[in-house]
Amino acid sequence: MANKHLKSESVPVKVRGNNIDQALRVLKKRMQANGVSKEMKRRQYFVSKPDQARLDKKKNTKRIFNRNVKNLMSKEGLVKEDAIAVEMQRHRPTPSPV
């Protein structure tokens, strides 16, 4: 049974004139562009330390938050402080009616 989390994506490379070295360089560049090499490094070891996993999650959340703020600034013409306030409102839990 195939792992549903792994996506197999072929990266075709033509070998011209039996030049394997050139084909390998092209393959490596294409793999880097697709993010395959980064994913391979990330999955190299099965278990990451809990503190590293927590830091990675925090870093990823911060990156997504900043991207959303940047999008709000460009799309809606908001200044940075207003865009941050809007993004913070999106992530606050709504109070439950009592």
Question: Quick check: pTM over 0.75?
Answer: no
Average pLDDT over residues 10-24: 90
For residue 1, the model assigns a pLDDT of: 40
d(CA 15, CA 26): 10
pLDDT 10s digits, 84-98? 888 888 877 666 676
